[in-house]
Amino acid sequence: MFDLQSYLEYNQNKINNILDVCLDNSLNQNRIVQAMKYSLMAGGKRLRPILCIASAEAIGPVPNAVLTAACALEMIHTYSLIHDDLPSMDNDDLRRGKPTCHNKFDEATAILAGDALLTLAFQLLSSISETNTISADKYLEVIYSVSRAAGYNGMIEGQMRDIASEGLSMSLEELESMHRLKTGCLIEASVITGALLSGGNVTQIDHLKTYANNIGLAFQITDDLLDILGDSVIIGKKTGADQLRKKNTYPSLLGIEESKKLSEIFIQNALQALNIFDKKSDPLRYIAEYIMNREK
Amino acid sequence: MFDLQSYLEYNQNKINNILDVCLDNSLNQNRIVQAMKYSLMAGGKRLRPILCIASAEAIGPVPNAVLTAACALEMIHTYSLIHDDLPSMDNDDLRRGKPTCHNKFDEATAILAGDALLTLAFQLLSSISETNTISADKYLEVIYSVSRAAGYNGMIEGQMRDIASEGLSMSLEELESMHRLKTGCLIEASVITGALLSGGNVTQIDHLKTYANNIGLAFQITDDLLDILGDSVIIGKKTGADQLRKKNTYPSLLGIEESKKLSEIFIQNALQALNIFDKKSDPLRYIAEYIMNREK
């Protein structure tokens, strides 16, 4: 019987170990590295790296390169959180139950720590030496896909729209489009990365993209619901913040019950996209359900 | 007779055209792209891309990939300027004679425009399709070298030290080390990029690195001197700012005359490193002298 909790913990540990080594082995242990470590090791769910690994597993044996690339994805995610939390953006004090990077250090350090994590991600992606089994072209393809997803046509445009929309009302379409950009693109890049490095073909990658897009939206709905219904102690940040800021959310547009239903539809779509894969994709299936039912 | 002014203008135009196309061809013409364009097209000297091109020329015929990579280097440079100018860092109002990005737009947009330019640089570097003449390995090597130079062991650590040192006194050694990181690393990566993509060997690259390190420091001394002796109209930003902020500069540590002498020594070292190259490296020679004598 597959136990998701053990699977998640096992992979979280693996990822944490690599992330630890990345920065602990550095000769530079100055303030910038302390800030990078602080945010990187603040106990995230490691969803993007785990999706990267699980997507690779769905296809076949997982080369070590997948783990390294998975860590690069987590660095990009962490950088985006550090910058989103800044006073000029969301102005958040807490993240994952701890003071945000600019609170713990200072604003300049937080901006630079974010910059440094983003840059380190590309350093990692370009330094994977497993070129005996994976061609350099593949790595370039991964770098292209990740940079595109994280850039001004992806995650960054999503954040711009998120900031611009505060206090204004959005249609459901605009909300979905914003989330697709802000979180969906990097989640999609995570499954693409795993699939590319484990030798996935175009059809497999297309199906994984559909999976990713659907769990990405379901993930956001759960986020919105947790901000209303969740336990701030479990989540690690204040709840009710969305309403306070008059943020556009699924529950604010659709109500709680309709939002839950929509989330279920997205998860069904995600599971359906996995139909072409065999049992090796079971982790992806369980993750999809976890995303809907999670409490933090 | 080699005319540096025409050489610089010719290459600046080439670079500006590619940079223009990069962002004008984007379907996304939203605020983020406007901010990226605003800072990218604000009339910089294009020193890093030109060094990249001139280094490639010193070795042999220049593949188109060099131009694309050169533009990526300018994007990284521009991102670093946008973030350095932010209120929590240098808090500058003017850059290249125009309002800084956060002044023209807003702080959040400036942070994200910087992030987006950094990310787009890696997208560009990973999307160069000239793989018939240059192997994918080479591109990975370029991405590694550029990300390392721009990261927490390079440019970002330099900026951290710059911020931390304001108001404190530094030794000449500490000052040099800070500048090597803050500006030297990316200048070095620029010559490495050009050399790698035009097929330079290890010796050639080593000599170009020495060249780059020396002109980088000379460049900084001239910057410091211009802040005291320069014409703010020509430079495009207020002079006297360093003294006002009690910044550590070469003139503040060594005096004006000794600083000029040191700059000459660096330029001599740079020129000497070019001894192994033939006439094709003349642009690099003229650039070295220009760097010392420039008025902006």
Residue A167 to residue B287: CA distance in whole angstroms: 52
Bridge partner residues of A145 (DSSP): none
Confidence tier at A258 by pLDDT (50, 70, 90) = very high
Residue A211 to residue A215: CA distance in whole angstroms: 6
* Alpha carbons within 13 A on the beta-carbon side of B255: 3
Measured CA to CA in angstroms, residue A88 lies from A91, B101, B111 at distances of 6, 14, 9
Residue A31 to residue A33: CA distance in whole angstroms: 5
A26, A79, A127 ranked by CB distance to B144: nearest: A127
- B contacts of A25 (beta carbons < 8 Å): none
How many domains does the structure of chain A reveal? 1
- Determine the pLDDT at residue B293: 83
For the domain that residue A149 is a member of, what is the CATH number? 1.10.600.10
Residue B245 to residue B263: CA distance in whole angstroms: 23
* Alpha carbons within 13 A on the beta-carbon side of B153: 15
Confidence tier at B131 by pLDDT (50, 70, 90) = low
- Residue from B22, B126, B197 whose CB has the most chain A CBs within 10 Å, to mutate: B126
Least confident of A56-60, A107-111, A124-128, A274-278: A124-128
Q: Are strands B94-95 and B98-99 parallel, antiparallel or unpaired?
A: antiparallel
So what's the ipTM on this one? 0.95
B18-56: per-residue pLDDT in tens? Answer: 999 888 777 778 999 999 999 999 988 999 999 999 999
Inter-chain residue contact B139 with A140, CB threshold 8 Å: yes
pLDDT of A230 > 80? The answer is: no
Confidence tier at A131 by pLDDT (50, 70, 90) = low
**What's the pTM value of the predicted model, to 2 decimals?**
0.96
Identify the three-state secondary structure at position B132: coil
- Determine the pLDDT at residue B9: 97
- Determine the pLDDT at residue B132: 67
Inter-chain residue contact A152 with B88, CB threshold 8 Å: no
Looking at per-residue pLDDT, the higher value among A242 and B255 belongs to: B255
Helix, strand, coil shares, percent, chain B, to 5: 75, 0, 25
Q: In the predicted model, what is the mean pLDDT of residues B163-179?
A: 93
Residue range of the domain that includes B91: 4-293
Structure token digits, residue B158: 């330099």
- Determine the pLDDT at residue B231: 77
Closest chain B C-alpha to A89 CA, distance in angstroms: 6
Phi, psi of B98 (to 5 degrees): -125, 160
Residue B62 to residue B60: CA distance in whole angstroms: 6
Inter-chain residue contact B152 with A122, CB threshold 8 Å: no
- B contacts of A122 (beta carbons < 8 Å): 122, 143, 147
Angle (CA) B97-B99-B104 rounded to 5° is 155
Closest chain A C-alpha to B210 CA, distance in angstroms: 23
Distance of CA A164 to the CA centre of its chain: 22
Structure token digits, residue B128: 């160069």
Q: Mean pLDDT of all residues in chain B?
A: 93
B193-252: per-residue pLDDT in tens? Answer: 999 999 999 999 999 999 999 999 999 999 999 999 877 777 767 778 888 878 899 999
A31-44: per-residue pLDDT in tens? Answer: 999 999 999 999 88
pLDDT of A237 > 80? The answer is: no
Region at A199 (left for phi over 0; alpha for psi -120 to 50; beta for the rest): left
- Determine the pLDDT at residue A241: 80
Closest chain B C-alpha to A116 CA, distance in angstroms: 5
Q: In the predicted model, what is the mean pLDDT of residues B93-117?
A: 95
- B contacts of A86 (beta carbons < 8 Å): 108, 111
Structure token digits, residue A212: 């990713």
Q: Mean pLDDT of all residues in chain A?
A: 93
Q: Which chain A residue lies closest to B153 (C-alpha atoms)?
A: A28
